[in-house]
Chain A
Amino acid sequence: MEEEVRELDREVKVIVFQLGSEEYGVEVYQVLSIERMQKITRVPRTPAFVKGVINLRGVVTPVIDLRARFGLPEAEYTDDTRIVVVGVNDMEVGLIVDAANDVIDVPLSRIDPPPAVVGGVKADYLRGVAKLEDRLLVLLNLDRVLNAQEVAQLSAMSW
């Protein structure tokens, strides 16, 4: 019984960022840094959501526009725009988001499996939805969002 309680009490630390009106979350251990918008060097013949590469402390890091990745309408970059640099499967990728300004603890018990589509984003890319008191947080499945093979295929097609 006690075990169960503890299990339910467990929390994950999540970095929260905005895309449009939705709030998304990525577990903190996957986030390497959060950068301000900077000059991105375009890489030709890659999928449209790949915005290019940036110099991240000497490491050339690809950057994707998360709106474009999810097929949402692209937005102008503002002072709030951030690049959330994540590390997944030995890949480091920057995700352009509208804003990133929060770290919260989400109890595992509050996370539900995602419905088929949330705010226009396919369930495939999602890990779950966390219902917190006053907000709804969409947790991303970065393994799916960042699929190098898919990018390679798309790049090959564009050639």
Chain B
Amino acid sequence: MENNQYLDMFIEETKEHLQQLNEQLLVLERDPADHDAIHAVFRSAHTIKGMAATMGFEPMVWVTHDMENVLDAIRNGRARITPDHMDVLFKAVDLLEAQLAAVEEGADLAEIRTDEVVQGLKRLIEAPRSGEGGTVLASGTNASVPASSGSGSVPAESAAGPAFVLDAYQQSVADEAKREGFGVVQIAVRLDEGCVLKAARAYMVVDACEQFGELVKVEPAVEELEQGNLDLDIRLLLIMKQGTPEAVRRALLGISEIREVTVEPWTRPASPEPSSPPGHAPGPPSIREKFPAKTEPAKEPSPNHRSLKSVRVDIERLDVLMNLFSELVIDRTRIEELAKHSGHQDLLTTVEHMARISSDLQNLVMTIRMVPVDTVFNRFPRMVRDLARELGKKVDFTVRGGDTGLDRTVIDEIGDPLVHLLRNAVDHGLESPEERRALGKPETGRVELVAYHSGNHVFIEVSDDGRGVDREKVIQKAVERGLVERSEAQAMTDGQVFDLLFQPGFSTKDVVSDVSGRGVGLDVVKSKLEQVGGKVQVESKPGQGTKWIIQLPLTLSIIQAMLVSLAGEKYAVPLHSIVETAVIHRQEIRDLHGQQVIPFRGRVIPLIDLERLYELHRDGIREEENVLIVRRGERFAAFIVDEFLGQQEIVLKSLGRYLQQVFSIAGATVLGDGQVALIIDCNAFLAA
């Protein structure tokens, strides 16, 4: 099949819709009356169906088709959502995911069993109908026949006569159009026998028809028409969006070299719907048929609906791009200098312009590498839900900070560790509902996943309000495993004790469950995170819950910073630690036990002497000084700078492995002119 060029697009878009399905189904599970969610789910299923049909992935069409029928019944109020509905629909999404994975690997779709899910969907479709008579559902149930036939290879008997052979998808599009009150006409066009430009005429015919509405089907397929692969007859099925059949006829007759045109209303074949057998896919798909979006009325666009426009780029190519760009910046700086020397005005202006463009470009290149953590987080709600059901626990799972940006390479590595920690939280952390009730806690446990930028790192926290980690149990286990001596264990801080959890082969749960507790989890989590330069630690209070805190490196993450100059050097200060900028008079600076202090908002805060700390040499002493006031929690500090150079997004880079842990330096960034500016870690001045 010639749709390789569309395959990537299909996979990418289907993934997005599957994600949308998962998300919206979760919304629906929480609030079965949420109409937006039902519509969103329906739309995604419908779109997947359309795309799969175009690509010839019939098994995916069957599944989505039945999903649609189930959802349609819900949408029209003919069926109520039951937990059974949710389970079956979730399973259907899983099946679609498996099918898509097979498509991606080039495996045979027929290998994946669909019967269980399809039967489940069928059962749901049947259920409401038995109560209310099937008229309303008629079109849906008819069209679902190919799915029930399993192989979908019912021969197309009704092809005789003027009726079109439509596949399940086209059928449903036509049905739906009729249901919505649009006229559907079939058009037969015969070209003159002496026609020379058949392809051109055919193109004009298609074009003319599209002035009146939506073409459901063209025979021969559009691509064949474009290549001139046709005799004299073209047949089209058109959903009339405007005009009359007669107008269509006249428009078509207006095209030269057309002998004959008939336009008549289309009626669906009465016999059970034959679908074209898989081998007889209706030619290469035409781009016009590819997106069924227009036939689906675009009412109530879901606010969550994301843009589908994306391009996949190899991360290495981005690295190369970024490095090439940096070289360009260096050369630009050189040209700037040369231009200044030459004093040539036009050259100077051009170089200035170039400088502006290249700094925009630089920001762009750097942000391209950033991916919101959502790309990893978005599969977790579903996972937690399934896990909770499996374990018979009630979980209220919330995600915050999904838009926090993280470098692509880091993103790729954090998925597995987070899965471990979340499973751990639900399985080990949370008590069963009965247990919780007995403890006077709400039955529904809370699990929270939070991401945020702070103190020059990206933090991701997984917390639960469960039973917490039992210090004694940990010690006991660690002693049993010979990880520590009991005597030294007693003297350890909670932090040190909890760190034992990350030792290889450590597990506190005595019963090894299917979910976690094999003791292979936490040390793997730790080493995986360390690979990307991250850290993980635990905070826990018995009976109140556990919080896993992952700290990820700032390498390449982008933050907002204030650029300042001091003694001829430029520094960047992360904006999140800055409270404000101020001007102080020299006489406001006091000396308190050898520490310079200044008044600030009714308190006295230390004035950090960066000049001395960094061994800088400023010229002279000013009467008025610019100060930057920074904070960490309730601690404040100030330091003097020469100038505020403005605020900008910077890309955090490490100083390299050779320079680890330099006091008060969190890393460096490359400025627009190619120079390196150090990033000041204010926390160092604010430590307890």
Contacts and interface: CB of A to CB of B under 8 A. Distances in A.
Interface string A2-45: 00000000000000000000000000000000000001011111
B617 to A, nearest CB: 12
A90 interface: yes
Nearest to B668: A60
Contact of A53 (B616, B664, B668): B668
A52 B100 CA distance: 51
Contacts of A93: 656, 658
B658 A148 contact: yes
A11 to B, nearest CB: 30
Contacts of A42: 569
Which has the most chain B C-beta neighbours within 10 Å: A44, A54, A61, A159? A44
B614 A146 contact: no
B322 interface: yes
B656 A159 contact: no
Interface residues of B, number: 33
Interface stretch (B419-427, B494-502, B670-678): B670-678
Nearest to A56: B326
B665 interface: yes
Interface in A51-71: 52-55, 57-62
Interface string B618-659: 000000000000000000000000000000000001111111
B266 interface: no
Interface in A99-141: none
A12 B613 CA distance: 45
A62 B675 contact: no
B533 to A, nearest CB: 12
Nearest to A64: B658
A148 to B, nearest CB: 5
A97 interface: no
A39 B333 CA distance: 12
Contacts of A151: 658-660
Contacts, number: 98
B674 A55 contact: yes
Contacts of A96: none
B108 interface: no
B600 interface: no
A60 B670 contact: yes
B662 A45 contact: yes
Contacts of A58: 322-323, 325-327, 670
B157 interface: no
A62 B655 contact: yes
B323 A59 contact: yes
B663 A41 contact: no
B661 interface: yes
Interface string B303-347: 000000000000000000011111100100000000000000000
A51 to B, nearest CB: 11
Contacts of B2: none
Nearest to B613: A44
Given A41-B678, A53-B668, A53-B676, A60 B614 contact: no
B658 A55 contact: no
A4 B670 CA distance: 52
A45 B661 contact: no
Contacts of B569: 41-42
Given A44-B615, A53-B668, A91 B658 contact: yes
Contact of B675 (A41, A50, A61, A155): A41
Nearest to A53: B676
A155 B614 CA distance: 12
B326 A57 contact: yes
B676 A60 contact: yes
Contacts of B614: 44-45
A152 interface: yes
A93 B322 CA distance: 20
B564 to A, nearest CB: 14
B488 to A, nearest CB: 26
B618 to A, nearest CB: 14
B313 to A, nearest CB: 17
B371 to A, nearest CB: 19
A42 B677 CA distance: 9
A50 B616 CA distance: 16
Contact of A155 (B323, B330, B663, B677): B663
Which has the most chain B C-beta neighbours within 10 Å: A45, A60, A155, A156? A60
A155 B569 CA distance: 20
Which has the most chain B C-beta neighbours within 10 Å: A39, A41, A42? A41
Nearest to A40: B676
Contacts of A156: 661, 663
A159 B322 CA distance: 35
A155 B613 CA distance: 13
B656 A60 contact: yes
Interface string B578-590: 0000000000000
Given A54-B676, A159-B663, A41 B668 contact: yes
Nearest to B674: A55
Nearest to A38: B330
A90 to B, nearest CB: 6
Interface string A69-110: 000000000000000000001111100000000000000000
A107 to B, nearest CB: 32
A79 to B, nearest CB: 16
Contact of A43 (B323, B662, B675): B662
Nearest to A50: B659
Given A41-B678, A57-B327, A151-B660, 14 more contacts: A44-B662, A44-B665, A53-B668, A58-B323, A58-B327, A58-B670, A60-B653, A62-B659, A148-B659, A148-B660, A155-B659, A155-B661, A155-B662, A156-B663
Interface of B: 322-327, 330, 569, 613-616, 653-665, 667-668, 670, 674-678
15 contacts: A42-B569, A43-B659, A43-B678, A44-B662, A45-B614, A50-B659, A53-B668, A54-B676, A55-B670, A57-B327, A58-B325, A59-B323, A60-B654, A93-B658, A148-B659
Ordered nearest first, which 9 A-B pairs have the shortest CB separation?
A58-B326, A44-B614, A41-B676, A58-B323, A91-B657, A57-B323, A45-B663, A60-B668, A60-B653
